[in-house]
Structure 1
Amino acid sequence: MEENVKNSALRTELRERIIDTAVEAFTKHGIKSITMDEIAASLGISKRTLYEVFSDKETLLEACVLRRLEKEEQYLKEILAVASNVLEVILKLFQYSIEQFHATNKKFFEEIKKYPRVSEMMMRRHDRNSAAAIQFFKEGVSQGIFRDDVNFEIMGLLVREQLDLLMNTDICQKYSFLSVYESIMFTYLRGISTERGAQELENFIREYRRNKR
C-alpha cells in the first residue's frame, strides 16, 4: 500500500515536471518545433517514460493549455476578491493578458489550431467564458460603469472576430502586436463606457502608457 502511494506521488510529481517543461518550451518556441524527444531529454528521462505519462503530443499539449487556463481562473478569482468594480477587473485582466502575449511566441497561437482536440476544448471554454462575460458586463451597467444601450453579446462577437484577425493576418508585420491589441481593447471599452467609466478608463490608460516608457 505505502509503495503504491509512493509510486503514485512520484508519477504525479513527474507529470507536473513534464507539464512545466512543456509549457515553457511551447510558449517560447511554438508547438511544432518542439518534439517529445526534446522534452524527454531536457527532463533527463527516456522517451518511453514520457509516453507512459502522456500518450502523445496532443495529450501533453492539452494538459499544458489546461494549466494556463487554470492560472488565468485563479488570477481572476484573486482580482474579484479585491476589485471595487467590473472595469477594474477588466483592466487588470488586460494587463495580465498583455504579459502572457509578451511571453508567448505567436507561433503557439497559430499552431494550436492544428490540434483538433485542444482547439475544441479551448472553444468550449471560450463559449462558457463569453456567456459569463455578458453577465459580468451587465453588472457593470448596474454599477454605472457601462452604458445600458449596448448589446454585449454582439460586441463580444465583434471583439472575438477582431482578435482572430489579429492572430491570423499579417497586420503585425506593419504594427506591433501590442499596438493592435491595445487599439482593439481600448476602442471597445471606450465605446461601451458611461462618462464615469470613461474617466476611470482614461486614468488607467494614462498611467499604463506612462509605465510603458
Structure 2
Amino acid sequence: MSIEAERYDNRQRIIETAKERILKYGYRNLRIDDITNDLQISKRTLYEIFSSKEDLVRELFQQSHDILSNEIQSVLSNIINNDEADFLVELRKLWTIVKNHTEIVSNQLFADIKTVFPDLSCKRQDFEDSIKSNFDEIYKIGITKGIFKPNMKSELFFMIHYYALSSILKPEIIAQSSLSIKEILDGISNLLLTGALTEDAQKKYLELTEI
C-alpha cells in the first residue's frame, strides 16, 4: 500500500471510529486516546491527518452530509429518469441511505457540540432542508404512481421518517436498549414503511373508522 493510500485508509478509519464513539457515548466523551487505542495507531498518526478533535468532527459531519446528498440525488435521478425503475425498491434504497446517515445529525450530537461549533447548527438546517426537498419530490412522484395516498401531506411524510430517527438515535436511549443500532434502524424502517398492523387488522381498523 502506498503512503497516500495508507493515509486515506487511516483517515476513513479514524472518522468511522469517531462516529461510532460519538453515537454511543456523545461528543463530550469523545477522546483522542480512545480512538487511537481502538485503531491501534499512534497519536502522531492521527494528528498528521487531523489537527484537533474539532477538526476531526468537522470533517466527519461534512463527509456524512456530502455522501448522503449524493446518494439521495442518485436515487431521485433514477426514479425520475428511469421508466423501468421500481418505485418501492427505490424508496427502500432511499430509506436505507437516510437511516445510515441520520445518526450523525441527531439531536443529541448537536446538543453536545452546538456551543463548540455554532456554525454547524446552520449546516444542520441546510442538511434538513435538502433532505426535505428531496423527500417532497419523491412523495409527489409516488402520488402520481399510486403508491402514496394523496391526502397525506409530504411534509408530514418527511417529519415522521426523519425525526423518528433523529429522536431515537441518542446515546442514552441506545445505551439502555438491548437492541443493536442495526436492529433499531431496521425496526423503525419496517414500522414506518409497512405499518404496525397486519393486513387483516388494517381492514378492521378502516371498518371502525367508518362507524
TM-score computed with the length of structure 1 as normaliser: 0.59
Q: How far apart are the structure 2 equivalents of 1:73 and 1:107? A: 14
The equivalent of 1:115 in structure 2 is 113
Q: Which of the residues 171, 177, 187 maps onto 1:179? A: 187
Higher RCO (CA < 8 A, seq sep 6+): 2
Q: How far apart are the structure 1 equivalents of 2:129 and 2:43? A: 38
Q: Which of the residues 106, 126, 129 maps onto 2:128? A: 126
Residues 156-192 of structure 1 show CA distances to partners (whole Å, capped at 9, x for unaligned) of 223334333323574973775243443134339x9xx
The one-letter amino acid of 2:44's match is S
Go from structure 1 to structure 2 and tell me whether the alpha carbon gap of 1:128 and 1:167 turns closer, same or farther (over 3 Å shift): same
Q: Which of the residues 44, 47, 62 maps onto 1:46? A: 44
Q: How many residues align?
A: 174
Q: How far apart are the structure 2 equivalents of 1:181 and 1:166? A: 12
Q: How far apart are the structure 1 equivalents of 2:34 and 2:169? A: 27
The one-letter amino acid of 1:93's match is L
Go from structure 1 to structure 2 and tell me whether the alpha carbon gap of 1:86 and 1:138 turns closer, same or farther (over 3 Å shift): same
Q: How far apart are the structure 2 equivalents of 1:108 and 1:154? A: 19
Go from structure 1 to structure 2 and tell me whether the alpha carbon gap of 1:112 and 1:119 turns closer, same or farther (over 3 Å shift): farther
Superposed counterparts of 1:13-92, under 5 Å: 14=7, 16-30=8-22, 31-39=27-35, 42-44=40-42, 46=44, 50=47, 53-79=49-75, 80-81=77-78, 84-92=85-93
**CA root-mean-square deviation:** 4.2
Q: How far apart are the structure 1 equivalents of 2:34 and 2:133? A: 39
TM-score computed with the length of structure 2 as normaliser: 0.59
Go from structure 1 to structure 2 and tell me whether the alpha carbon gap of 1:124 and 1:73 turns closer, same or farther (over 3 Å shift): closer
The equivalent of 2:208 in structure 1 is none
Go from structure 1 to structure 2 and tell me whether the alpha carbon gap of 1:109 and 1:135 turns closer, same or farther (over 3 Å shift): closer
Runs of 5+ unmatched residues, structure 1: 1-9, 191-213
Runs of 5+ unmatched residues, structure 2: 199-211
Q: How far apart are the structure 2 equivalents of 1:146 and 1:87? A: 10
Go from structure 1 to structure 2 and tell me whether the alpha carbon gap of 1:146 and 1:185 turns closer, same or farther (over 3 Å shift): closer
Is contact 2:139–2:154 with CA below 8 Å preserved after alignment?
Answer: yes
Is contact 2:61–2:104 with CA below 8 Å preserved after alignment?
Answer: no
What percentage of residue pairs aligned between the two structures are identical?
Answer: 14
Go from structure 1 to structure 2 and tell me whether the alpha carbon gap of 1:145 and 1:61 turns closer, same or farther (over 3 Å shift): same
Is contact 2:72–2:134 with CA below 8 Å preserved after alignment?
Answer: no
The equivalent of 2:140 in structure 1 is 138
